[in-house]
């Protein structure tokens, strides 16, 4: 893993001209920096995955099981029967090319097989050969090709160079969703033991301990307790952060990175401060201590296995409804899969904000509300005292995370929160935000060090849009609501726009929020809080006034 890291000026030279004239002839190149390591056999075994073995993508022989072709073709057949999406998407693409330059990996690498249309053709060509009349008769002429070990390598490379971000599907005239194809491709690869470690290991950890990082219950408690202490140091307020508390009104679930990684951690402090300030009766869970779900990146079954904990825990604890933290793919699962897979949640109540009384009708079946929806409602009802000036040291732009954007339509809620917490907010160009947002380049389980070059390439369009607002408006803070973003945007920024930092929305909220009885001079990062450091007279007066209310 000690390859020399690529340089921005080299990666910025992208050639979009396809090489040769037939992609089927193009050899597969497993090049350092552009792939992910194979799954750790012990963890794969723990999850009862098939055909576990020790191998690496750099090996010549991937030791495919003897009947691998049969497994793949039967698996494809099976999935065609189970997913109309796959079947329709295999048949109706007209190769209009509208998707080609919509993929961040194509824009960042110029590799033609990263055009969504060709990524799908990698699978489609095999489908045609074995499942369509034209392909059976005409073969290559009809765009069909026989399944070879080389194709398996190609799938492995390119289905792990897709972050399932769905940007292409917004532009496709038939709504063909490459994420769906990539998901099928990955399931097929997993069926012959070709998983990657960055997905398998977090999934195994999550299955066992409740979270991706494999933090055991007491460790989880330590982390939360530590955050509580830290928040007390910053604000002078000791908040309560109950864990596994039966009978609480609300179960709060957030991605595990929030209590273990930076800058996620400051968002966690923001949550804790917020919940204290509004006096929310809630609980964390050590069993369901992960909202994220790397099963989504593995297979539908794995997604279900990991997701099952959330409803089970809500039921066990007897809460009324569930609140979900800032995370991208977690919300894809919660919004589009959870109720179908592990519902119905008929043991929960219709979510109602205990603070504002707002009924969250849009979550009446799933019974899970996004924290940005929750907070936006608090702000709209005047339940928070926000001093925007406290965020005057940041000039914010907002990165719509792929899943909340294109699998949920969560656009205005986070923006409303930012606008009420910050004075300086500048949007990136319209072709790079909202439904057209660009992926961080590291989502869907491929945010590894060994894949660094590809991540920087894939994140290039996002970073380039940040650079635009950085240069134009002096933006120095990239806000987002996704744990993978918070983990992978900082290195991306460091690579392409070193002057920009990354934060979560509830970090901004936590900074701007005037808490009753607070004594603070620093923001959640321990850096001087604007307005609180110099003009003590003004600001302390205001704070004192608030304190007196307590």
Site residues for other proteins, window 212-271 (CB under 8 A)?
216-218, 221-222, 243-246
**Site residues (CB under 8 A) for other proteins, limited to 315-334:** 316
**Site residues (CB under 8 A) for other proteins, limited to 401-460:** 405-413, 416, 429, 431-432, 435-436, 460
CB of 47 or CB of 239, closer to other proteins: 47
The three-state DSSP-derived secondary structure of 373-394 is HHHHHHHHCCCCCECHHHHCCC
Helix (H) or strand (E) holding 202: helix 197-209
In whole angstroms, how close is the CB of 365 to other proteins at the nearest point?
A: 5
Using CB under 8 A, which of 10, 17, 27, 550 touches other proteins? 17
d(CA 90, CA 88): 5
| Residue among 350, 373, 376 at smallest CA distance from 363 | 350
Using CB under 8 A, which of 72, 157, 199, 286 touches other proteins? 286
CB of 121 or CB of 450, closer to other proteins: 121
CB of 170 or CB of 355, closer to other proteins: 170
Using CB under 8 A, which of 59, 148, 149, 174 touches other proteins? 174
CB of 290 or CB of 485, closer to other proteins: 290
Using CB under 8 A, which of 28, 142, 228, 261 touches other proteins? 142
Do residues 449 and 1 lie in contact, with contact meaning Cβ atoms separated by under 8 Å?
A: yes
Q: What is the CA 182 to chain-centroid distance, rounded?
A: 16
- Could you say whether residue 4 binds other proteins (CB under 8 A)? no
In whole angstroms, how close is the CB of 136 to other proteins at the nearest point?
A: 11
Q: 421 vs 179, 181, 225, 262, 535, CA distance in Å?
A: 34, 39, 26, 21, 20
405: region left, alpha or beta (phi > 0 left; psi from -120 to 50 alpha): alpha
CB of 303 or CB of 524, closer to other proteins: 303
Q: 90 vs 124, 135, 172, 462, CA distance in Å?
A: 6, 12, 14, 29
In whole angstroms, how close is the CB of 93 to other proteins at the nearest point?
A: 6
19: tokens are 């090489």
CB of 208 or CB of 238, closer to other proteins: 208
d(CA 182, CA 123): 9
In whole angstroms, how close is the CB of 123 to other proteins at the nearest point?
A: 14
149: tokens are 């070990």
3-state SS class at 165: coil
Backbone angles phi and psi of 391, in degrees to 5: -110, 20
| H helices present in 474-504, as ranges | 483-496
Site string for other proteins, 181-210 (x = CB under 8 A): --------------------------xxxx
- Could you say whether residue 173 binds other proteins (CB under 8 A)? yes
| Residue among 529, 532, 510, 5 at smallest CA distance from 263 | 510
Q: What is the CA 172 to chain-centroid distance, rounded?
A: 22
CB of 137 or CB of 262, closer to other proteins: 137
- Could you say whether residue 358 binds other proteins (CB under 8 A)? yes
Using CB under 8 A, which of 3, 5, 7, 12 touches other proteins? 12
In whole angstroms, how close is the CB of 75 to other proteins at the nearest point?
A: 14
In whole angstroms, how close is the CB of 122 to other proteins at the nearest point?
A: 12
d(CA 507, CA 265): 9
**Residue linked to tokens 């190149």:** 29
Using CB under 8 A, which of 6, 343, 354, 517 touches other proteins? 343
CB of 409 or CB of 526, closer to other proteins: 409
The count of chain residues that interact with other proteins, using the rule CB under 8 A, is 120
**Site residues (CB under 8 A) for other proteins, limited to 63-102:** 80-89, 91-98, 100-102
Using CB under 8 A, which of 64, 115, 152, 529 touches other proteins? 115
CB of 394 or CB of 408, closer to other proteins: 408
- Could you say whether residue 112 binds other proteins (CB under 8 A)? yes
**Site residues (CB under 8 A) for other proteins, limited to 483-542:** none
426: tokens are 């500048």
DSSP string across 256-304? GGGGTSTTHHHHHHHHHHHHHHHT--EEB-STT-----GGGGT-HHHHH
**Contacts with 536 (C-beta within 8 Å, 6 or more apart), sequence order:** none
CB of 498 or CB of 528, closer to other proteins: 498
CB of 195 or CB of 210, closer to other proteins: 210
- Could you say whether residue 39 binds other proteins (CB under 8 A)? no
179: tokens are 């994420």
HSE-up (13 A, CA, CB side) for residue 515: 29
């Amino acid at each position: 893993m000690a390859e020399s890291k690529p340089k921005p000026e080299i990666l910025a030279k992208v050639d979009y001209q396809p090489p040769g004239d037939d992609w089927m002839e193009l050899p597969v190149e497993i090049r350092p920096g552009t792939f992910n390591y194979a799954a750790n056999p012990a963890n794969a075994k723990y999850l009862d995955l098939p055909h576990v073995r020790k191998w690496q993508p750099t090996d010549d022989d991937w030791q495919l099981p003897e009947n691998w072709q049969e497994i793949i073709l039967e698996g494809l057949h099976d999935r065609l029967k189970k997913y109309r999406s796959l079947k329709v998407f295999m048949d109706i693409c007209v190769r209009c090319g509208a998707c080609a330059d919509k993929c961040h990996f194509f824009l960042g690498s110029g590799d033609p097989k990263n055009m969504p249309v060709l990524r799908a053709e990698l699978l489609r060509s095999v489908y045609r050969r074995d499942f369509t009349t034209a392909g059976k008769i005409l073969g290559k002429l009809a765009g069909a090709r026989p399944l070879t070990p080389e194709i398996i390598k190609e799938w492995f490379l390119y289905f792990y160079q897709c972050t399932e971000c769905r940007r292409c599907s917004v532009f496709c005239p038939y709504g063909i969703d490459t994420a769906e194809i990539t998901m099928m491709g990955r399931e097929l690869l997993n069926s012959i033991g070709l998983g990657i470690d960055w997905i398998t290991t977090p999934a195994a950890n999550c299955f066992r301990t409740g979270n991706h990082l494999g933090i055991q219950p007491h460790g989880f408690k330590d982390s939360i307790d530590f955050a509580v202490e830290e928040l007390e140091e910053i604000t002078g307020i000791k908040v309560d952060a109950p864990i596994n508390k039966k009978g609480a009104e609300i179960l709060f679930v957030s991605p595990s990175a929030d209590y273990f990684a930076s800058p996620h951690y400051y968002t966690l402090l923001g949550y804790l401060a917020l919940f204290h300030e509004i006096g929310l009766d809630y609980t964390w869970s050590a069993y369901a201590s992960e909202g994220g779900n790397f099963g989504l990146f593995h297979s539908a079954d794995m997604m279900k296995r990991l997701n099952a904990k959330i409803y089970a825990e809500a039921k066990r604890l007897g809460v009324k409804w569930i609140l979900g933290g800032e995370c991208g793919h977690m919300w894809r699962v919660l919004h589009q899969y959870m109720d179908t897979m592990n519902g119905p949640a008929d043991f929960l109540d219709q979510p109602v904000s205990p603070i504002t009384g707002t009924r969250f009708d849009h979550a009446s079946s799933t019974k899970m509300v996004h924290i940005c929806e929750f907070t936006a409602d608090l702000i709209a009802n005047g339940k928070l005292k926000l001093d925007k000036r406290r965020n005057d040291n940041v000039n914010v732009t907002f990165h719509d995370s792929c899943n909340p954007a294109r699998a949920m339509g969560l656009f205005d809620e986070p923006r409303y929160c930012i606008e009420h917490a910050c004075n300086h907010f500048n949007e990136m160009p319209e072709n790079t935000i909202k439904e057209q947002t660009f992926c961080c380049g590291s989502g869907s389980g491929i945010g590894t060090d060994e894949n660094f070059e590809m991540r920087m390439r894939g994140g290039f369009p996002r970073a380039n849009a940040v650079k635009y607002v950085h240069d134009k408006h002096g933006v120095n803070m990239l806000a987002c609501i996704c744990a993978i973003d918070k983990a992978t945007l900082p290195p991306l920024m460091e690579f392409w726009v070193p002057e920009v930092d990354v934060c979560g929305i509830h970090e901004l909220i936590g900074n701007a929020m005037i808490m009753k009885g607070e004594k603070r001079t620093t923001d959640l990062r321990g850096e001087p809080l604007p307005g609180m450091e110099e003009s003590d007279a003004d600001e302390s007066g205001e704070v004192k006034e608030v304190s007196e209310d307590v």
